[in-house]
């Protein structure tokens, strides 16, 4: 472990904060002998931090394994959900196929 610590120090790395819990591995959950550890970590240089200042490292809890994966998101893309409202156009009534097309749908879909 000393060699690992020295390598981190020599490379001037800093650890990314883990969100969503402090542990990534567990054994004997639900018993008195429950052990939890943080096995997974991520490190970065100052130049990397300048490229991705808004990054997040999070743990995803799963039930099928004793090991919870971590996920690094470099930036959050915000996608706005547009609400589309249906607008009936009176000009549709003038279309020859309008009435025959509308009557093809069950009443439950229209109402």
pLDDT of residue 92: 86
Q: Using one digit for the tens of pLDDT, what is the confidence trace for 15-31?
A: 999 998 888 888 888 88
Contact 38, 22 (CB under 8 A): yes
pLDDT of residue 48: 95
pLDDT of residue 16: 93
CA distance 40 to 52: 20
pLDDT of residue 107: 65
CA distances from 26 to 1, 18, 104, 107 (A): 21, 16, 57, 54
Residues composing the chain? 111
Question: Does pLDDT of 12 surpass 70?
Answer: yes
Question: Does pLDDT of 109 surpass 70?
Answer: no
CA distance 108 to 111: 6
Whole-model pTM: value is 0.60
H-helix or E-strand spanning residue 5: helix 2-10
The stretches of 23-106 forming alpha helices (DSSP H) are 46-51, 98-102
Nearest-5° angle of CA 54, CA 60, CA 63? 175
Q: Using one digit for the tens of pLDDT, what is the confidence trace for 37-95?
A: 888 999 999 999 999 999 999 998 888 888 889 999 998 777 788 887 888 889 888 88
CA distances from 36 to 4, 25, 29, 83 (A): 22, 6, 9, 44
Question: Does pLDDT of 105 surpass 80?
Answer: no
């Amino acid at each position: 472990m000393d060699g690992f610590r020295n390598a981190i120090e020599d490379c001037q790395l800093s650890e990314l904060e883990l969100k969503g819990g402090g542990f990534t591995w567990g054994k004997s959950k639900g018993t008195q002998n429950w052990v939890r550890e943080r096995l997974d970590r991520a490190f970065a240089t100052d130049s990397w931090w300048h490229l991705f200042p808004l990054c997040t490292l999070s743990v995803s809890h799963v039930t099928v394994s004793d090991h919870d994966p971590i996920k690094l998101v470099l930036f959050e893309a915000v996608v706005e959900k547009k609400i589309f409202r249906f607008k009936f156009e009176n000009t549709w009534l003038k279309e020859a196929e309008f009435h025959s097309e509308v009557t093809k749908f069950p009443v439950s879909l229209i109402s």
